[in-house]
Structure 1
Amino acid sequence: MEAGSSTIDVRSGFYKVFKAKDYNCSVEFYWSPFLVQLEQENGSRILSLDKLSPLAKRWGGADVMVFNTGHWWVHSGKMKAWDLFQYNGKLVEEMEIESALRKGMRTWARWIDRHVDGAKTTVFFRSISPQHQGKQWCYNITRPNMDESYESAFPKSMREIIEITIRSMAIPVRYLNITKLSEYRRDAHPASYARKQEKILKTEQKLLEESHPDCSHWCLPGLPDTWNRLLYASLVVDTSISSHLVV
């Protein structure tokens, strides 16, 4: 799709490119929710904690890289994306999620340290985007949540694993911490206005709306625009790459 001097190339659900020709700028999106490799083998979905996503071969040479992971690690039941973990040549059916995330993050960190030139590429890691489940569900909510006692659906231990990994890396990584500011915005989810199979939920589905609102994704325009402003400010205001930056 073209719009003036800009083009959007949707090659697959895993890879999309936006090109602003007047500025010689390309923004590439790679969908890799675990950062490490998830593959189908002999009828089983295997999450390889010591292998980076095959998409990584396309990442090299970028001026700016922005990574994130989190949501997919805590999915359970029918939402869980894997059947087995693979690590050091062994297949494991059960593993503590914190342990799996730690191994996966170390794999990502090693790739960054080995393949990224910190003098040419600025690397960001965006913190976990919160969900609002249970008593904090977003259905019919029109104002931000100002309750400071709200507890994130994601374990603090998972956030700490990511932060510790970043601090241990040789290549500086700027940590874009959007979790706390986003936790207030339970009003910013699509809720019952989420698309389901390309159709807006209808009024007769009210019961379904109340029991299954989308309190994970975000409306656009909306909160993610604030994340982008913070990213832009970090790029423009802070030009130092000598130390890790926590926003």
Structure 2
Amino acid sequence: MTTQASPDRRIQLLFPVALASLLILGTARIILDSLKNNRSQFLWQESEKHRVVRLPINISGDEIIPEGCNIFEGQWVWDNVSFPLYTEESCSYLVKQVTCQRNGRPDSNYKNWRWQPNACKLPRFNALKLLEILRGKRLMFVGDSIQRGMFDSMVCLVQSVIPEGKKSLQRIPPRKIFTAEEYDASIEYYWAPFIVESNSDHATNHTVKRRQVNLDSISKHGREWEGVDILVFESYVWWMYKPLINATYGSAQSVQEFNVTTAYRLALETWANWIETSVNPRNQKLFFMTMSPTHLWSWEWEPGSDGNCFNESHPIERPYWGTGSNLDILRIVREVLKQVKIDVTLLNITQLSEFRKDAHTSIYGERKGKLLTKEQRSDPQTYADCIHWCLPGVPDTWNQILYAHLIQDYRIL
């Protein structure tokens, strides 16, 4: 014999279900309110197969850059306690081109300078927090060998907190891919010295003297950038070989000589058009890094001298802007970014890097894939590399600034 529950009994049975539902909804509301109030940050990403749930990221007050503070204006201060952020020995991923001390550099002071903005402090780099931000995501650096140095720096900054066997580095030209397996995250580098396509796009076998740029062609590169969560672009040094550059525009068969600044603007406009047609601003975040300065002529910071960055051991401690940084190019970058309809964050690292005449690889790096010989090192006027940077060194500060932007971004990337 069956009996039917009375209405009162049914209400009693439904009450726990309703209460549980209210508790779930209430918990969700608390989390959403917490997100809105920026008390803590819960990041997640919807993937095709599953939802990647992230751990809370607690952001303290001293990690927030105050509104109105220009982090690109400041000075380098000596800090041999908290810097460098890693060592050559602790990062096996460094290439010979940047391991200056291992290559024979007798001094190490270049590692111990910390960038101090005038009106605030940069947050100290926290690898675990960055990896949480990158969980389930791809961070890609795009550009030339200067940008490759920034990639190498970032890998060294995060790799020490990842257990052995849970990290790997692949070289798949024109890309390098560092993977943090437990975070389902990758830090990547893509070789594109002009951003647009050129005859120098082969990652290892690229022409230096006979450069030709396709100013309105970017689709081949763009296919590799589509869907990347965080893109950091840079392009400068390869443009500055001569005042004129061979290029095509409109017709792939018609090669003409362009003034470099004209060609650069056309290339950047092609890149900007790709951004507006191919980037989803809700899911992707973009940065553009300004020019990395060179220190080829010591008379610029020491009148009457006839050297370069070789044997320099201290930063410049007065207002300084060298001829290695082209103001016309900087102006073009600002103008094009201002016109782009999608937000691109400008990382203006040029001025702070201008002071660091002491931090280049000089004679303690590679030339054409080989360390300099004893005879070459004895001729720094010819062989000193005053373009690339030692690691640890200045590119670590660039990444610290990138980290400061990412840690403050409360949007879902």
Q: TM bucket by the smaller chain? A: 0.7 to 0.9
Measure the CA separation in 1 of the matches of 2:341 and 2:378. 52
1:64 is aligned to 230
Name the counterpart of 2:280.
117
> Counterparts in 2 of 1:205-220, with a 5 A limit?
205-220=376-391
CA contact (8 A) 1:138 1:186 kept: yes
Cα deviation code 1:69-94 (max 9, x no counterpart): 111111139xx9x6x31001162432
Give 1:11's match in structure 2, choosing from 158, 163, 172.
172
Contact 1:18 1:26 in 2 (8 A): yes
Deviation at 1:17, TM superposition (A): 0.6
Structure 2 residue ranges without an equivalent (≥5)? 1-92, 94-162, 201-209, 301-307
Which has the higher Rg, Structure 1 or Structure 2? 2
Contact in 1 for aligned 2:229/2:284 (Cα 8 Å): yes
> Residues of 1 paired with 2:216 and 2:355: CA distance?
35
The question of whether the paired residues in 2 share the 8 Å contact of 1:35 and 1:104 is answered with yes
Q: Determine if contact 2:359/2:389 at 8 Å carries over to the other structure.
A: yes
Alpha-carbon distance between aligned partners in 2 of 1:213 and 1:201, rounded to the nearest angstrom? 9
What do residues 16-37 of structure 1 show as CA deviations (whole Å, max 9, x unaligned)? 1111011110112100010111
Cα deviation per residue 1:186-234 (whole Å; 9 max; x = unaligned)?
A: 1010101012355433444344223321000000111100000100110
In the alignment, which residue of structure 1 is the partner of 2:293?
Answer: 130
**Which residue of structure 2 lines up, in the alignment, with residue 48 of structure 1?**
214
- Paired residue type of 2:195: L
Tell me the SS of whatever aligns to 1:151.
Answer: coil
- Secondary structure of 2:288's partner? strand
Change (3 A) 1:187 1:85: same
Percentage identity across paired residues of the two chains:
34
> Secondary structure at 1:186's aligned position in 2?
coil
User: Partners of 1:227 and 1:175 in 2: how far apart?
Assistant: 12
In 2, Cα distance between equivalents of 1:176 and 1:116: 19
Shift of 1:39: 3.1
Q: CA deviation at 1:3?
A: 4.2
Distance 1:234 1:191 in 2: 31
Worse-superposed segment, 146-155 or 19-28: 146-155
Report the 3-state secondary structure (helix = DSSP H, G, I; strand = E; otherwise coil) of the residue aligned with 1:187: coil
Q: Distance in 2 between matches of 1:57 and 1:115?
A: 9
- Shift in Å, 1:15: 1.0
Higher-RCO chain (CA-CA 8 Å, sequence separation at least 6): 2
What stretches of structure 1 of length at least 5 have no aligned partner? 242-247
Q: Secondary structure at the match of 1:93?
A: strand
Q: Helix, strand or coil: the match of 2:287?
A: strand
Kindly indicate whether residue 258 of structure 2 is the aligned counterpart of residue 95 of structure 1. yes
The DSSP-based 3-state class of the residue aligned with 2:216 is strand
Which residue number corresponds to residue 22 of structure 1?
A: 182
Aligned CA distance change for structure 1 residues 99 and 196 (closer, same or farther; 3 Å): closer
CA positional deviation for 1:45: 5.4
Query: Shift in Å at residue 155 of structure 1?
Result: 1.9
Farther-moved stretch of structure 1 (124-133 vs 191-200)? 191-200
Query: Could you say which structure has the higher strand fraction?
Result: 1
Work out the number of aligned pairs and report it: 233
* Contact 1:32–1:53 (CA under 8 A) maintained in structure 2: no
Cα distance in 1 for partners of 2:379, 2:164 equals 38
Residue 267 of structure 2 aligns to a residue in which SS?
helix
Superposition RMSD on alpha carbons, in Å? 2.4
Q: Deviations over 1:27-57 (max 9, x none)?
A: 12100010111138xxx85311001162220
8 Å CA contact retained: 2:214, 2:247: yes
Q: Distance in 2 between matches of 1:124 and 1:115?
A: 15
Alignment TM-score, normalising by the size of structure 2: 0.53
Alpha carbons 1:35, 1:53 under 8 Å: kept: no
The 5-angstrom pairing of residues 177-188 of structure 1 reads 177-188=348-359
